[in-house]
Structure 1
Amino acid sequence: MYNTVVIGAGQAGLAMGYYLKQLKQPFVILDKAREVGEEWKKRYDSLVLFTPRMYNSLPGLRMKGDSQGFPAKDEIVNYLKTYADTFHLPIQMHTEVRRVRKENDYFSIETNREEFKASNVVIATGPFQKPRIPEFAKSLSPDIVQLHSSQYKSPDDLQAGNVLVVGGGNSGAQIAVELSKEGETYLSVSRKMKFLPLEIGNKSIFWWFDKLGILKASRYSWVGQKLHKKGDPIFGYELKEALQKGKVILKERALHGEENKILFEDVSSLYVQNIIWATGFIPNYSWLDIKGVLDHQGKPIQVRGKTPIKGLFFLGLPWQYRRGSALLQGVGDDAQHLLKQIQKREF
């Protein structure tokens, strides 16, 4: 019997583990992956974070290197492994959670290996769960190479011919810029993109956000509500320059497709050989067998990670409390808050 079982050994689960060690109660972190940092390792080879190292550290361990510099994905993988080792976190890999039930005052967590019982459960599986791909993708020709951004690694994954990147977030922007150096590249977006510089006066724009209090603005504040509604801008000007030079050709929202042709909102069309779906993710909690935790869209019902079910918590959700709640820069604050909620249950 554990005091707490944490599901997920990504940045959220590791941060929770750091604080749970202070409680001096038995806990374990479960993850289906083979090693810590595996999800980061799977992401595209050229991935570089647009937040500097000074805002990518988990509680208790500063990321090494130039604090204003931008870490690549392999650096994040190594940092997470070092973090788990430094604090001797009790992580059990190769353990896939298949069902979570509430039984009286404790939870039953069924896995591919054994069953765990705990007074508290923290679901820290992160925002990258089930790829969101439009339904019409199934009707496209099998001759098209289709990859979700979570499957894409490098231009070598694609066949000869043009490529359409669908999705105007920062991942889509980075991938489109990379592919534009290889050949004919199109980018389909559903809204007008806003660009912000990575640096102002030799300081990261996030340094300025921090000084202005934007990073700490909660989702319930006026500033937080504005930021949440607008969505993230594109950080850096690489895509903007590629668009201006015609290396990336902008298309409106992709509405439908037939065979090798994609149809767009402005009634234009394009024959494509490759598609990268940088369209984000949808939640998948099919293994969570507890009523009253998810809404009609399958999203957690929670207030800063606390659910209506006593002892059940979420961590690492986008905008769980502030913009950085799902990121390295903000997950530690939410983990510390959940520790206080767990401590309250002890008395």
Structure 2
Amino acid sequence: MIYTYEVIIIGGGQAGLAMAYALKKQNIHYVILDQNNHTGVSWEKRYDSLTLFTPRNYSTLFEYNMEGQSNGFPSKDEIASYLRRFSMEHHMVIKHNEKVLRVKKRSIDIFKVETESNEYLASQVIVATGAFHHPFVPNIHDGLTPFVIHSHEYKNPQQVPKGKVLVVGSGNTGVQIAAELSQTHDVVLSSSKKGKIIPTRILGKSLFWWLDVMGISKAKSDSIIGRILQRRDPIIGTDYKTVKKHVEMVSRLLKVEDGTCFFKEDRPMEIGSIIWATGYKNKYDWIQIEGAVDLRGNPNHIFGESPARGLYFIGLSWQSRRSSALIYGVEKDAKYVARLVMKMKNN
């Protein structure tokens, strides 16, 4: 089947929903194409104990309040439920189970979006697949360690066999997983850099309240402050204290051979399980439009606007500011992109 809309939004997470809301306010005929079978799946799939660093009053879209204590920290299942309610109450136009395979130009002014079962045409397309796509695992492992997963596959300690566990990567995810596993396992955390630790609350106020007051959350990606902050995200919360007390810290992992891990500055050790908390890599090869993606595979854009006329991005890390990839920050970018869409429509 072939369907025609003014705007196609690819991805039905918080970025896609925020974009749809902003377009709806402009009376623009849109559709969200989402590969999942219902809203909130990407949050439901995350590990069981995940709790956000942002309190509920900093985890909302367009002043649509979240249930529960406003300064408390929501679980991942609360976020999934919140996004479903947001979608239903605002009557979002979503087609689920539509995995986008290719985005091309059918003509100068028309995009063709191909899914596994249908074809969609639109004059403008917004990519809302978010900041992180494909799990990244360094090519330094011989594959002989019995239990190896990426952090996106981790659910809880019961999933991990007894014995020594190596968590590779000391960002927020790696630290959280290492802290949780340390209650039941012998855990080693490999880190290439020493992280900066920031508590979730300072003098009784949320960290994000302070970031707002100090203007840091509004720092543009191309500003001096923005460039400094982008070099390395801080570790937020108290999990690092648990790690320092109960987890063996080692230097950067160099290679894994026959179940033995070799580190840059520490003795080799035998490991029974490995969890790669090494982040994600972008993959945009399905966007087959000249100028949309650079040679490193990253989207070409200025605050979400692509040099390819009619193509936009939303939900990217540091798309315009520190909070762009967070739930409460994406709405600002959505409003901005919606104005660009309306401007092109009227031209």
**Band the TM-score falls in, shorter-chain normalisation:** over 0.9
**Cα displacement string for residues 272-321 of structure 1 (whole angstroms, at most 9, x for unaligned residues):** 11111111000111211112111111000100000111000011111111
Match of 1:128 among 127, 132, 141: 132
Residue correspondence of structure 1 range 66-77 to structure 2 within 5 A: 66-77=69-80
Instruction: Report percent identity of matched pairs.
Output: 43
Would you say the 8 A contact 2:175–2:243 is kept in 1?
Answer: no
Asked if residue 83 in structure 1 is aligned to residue 82 in structure 2, the reply is no
Which residue is equivalent to 2:260?
261
Would you say the 8 A contact 1:262–1:269 is kept in 2?
Answer: yes
SS at match of 2:327: coil
Instruction: Identify which range, 219-228 or 165-174, moves more after superposition.
Output: 219-228
Deviation at 1:171, TM superposition (A): 0.9
**Cα displacement string for residues 214-246 of structure 1 (whole angstroms, at most 9, x for unaligned residues):** 1111112222111112x2111122322431x2x
Which residue is equivalent to 1:344?
343
Residue correspondence of structure 1 range 13-28 to structure 2 within 5 A: 13-28=16-31
SS at match of 2:140: helix
Residue correspondence of structure 1 range 237-256 to structure 2 within 5 A: 237-243=238-244, 245=245, 247-256=246-255
Asked if residue 57 in structure 1 is aligned to residue 60 in structure 2, the reply is yes
| Unpaired stretches in structure 1, ≥5 consecutive residues | none
Which residue is equivalent to 2:235?
234
**Cα displacement string for residues 65-117 of structure 1 (whole angstroms, at most 9, x for unaligned residues):** 22211111010000000010010000000001011101221100011121000
Residue correspondence of structure 1 range 208-227 to structure 2 within 5 A: 208-227=210-229
Q: Name the CA distance, whole Å, in 2 between partners of 1:197 and 1:78.
A: 27
Residue correspondence of structure 1 range 263-342 to structure 2 within 5 A: 263-342=262-341
Q: Name the CA distance, whole Å, in 2 between partners of 1:88 and 1:155.
A: 39
Amino acid aligned to 2:94: I
Would you say the 8 A contact 2:131–2:316 is kept in 1?
Answer: yes
Q: Name the CA distance, whole Å, in 2 between partners of 1:341 and 1:188.
A: 44
Match of 1:99 among 91, 99, 102: 102
Amino acid aligned to 1:62: N
C-alpha RMSD of matched pairs (Å): 1.1
Q: Name the CA distance, whole Å, in 1 between partners of 2:294 and 2:269.
A: 38
Asked if residue 119 in structure 1 is aligned to residue 120 in structure 2, the reply is no
Would you say the 8 A contact 2:251–2:266 is kept in 1?
Answer: no
SS at match of 1:325: coil
Amino acid aligned to 2:25: Q
Amino acid aligned to 1:25: I
Would you say the 8 A contact 1:195–1:240 is kept in 2?
Answer: no
SS at match of 1:146: strand
Would you say the 8 A contact 1:144–1:272 is kept in 2?
Answer: no
| Unpaired stretches in structure 2, ≥5 consecutive residues | none
Which segments of structure 1 move beyond 4 Å, counting only runs of 4 or more? none
Which residue is equivalent to 1:108?
112
Q: Name the CA distance, whole Å, in 2 between partners of 1:49 and 1:196.
A: 14
Q: Name the CA distance, whole Å, in 1 between partners of 2:266 and 2:71.
A: 44
> What number of residue pairs does the alignment pair up?
342
Asked if residue 146 in structure 1 is aligned to residue 148 in structure 2, the reply is yes
Which residue is equivalent to 2:38?
35
Q: Name the CA distance, whole Å, in 2 between partners of 1:332 and 1:255.
A: 41
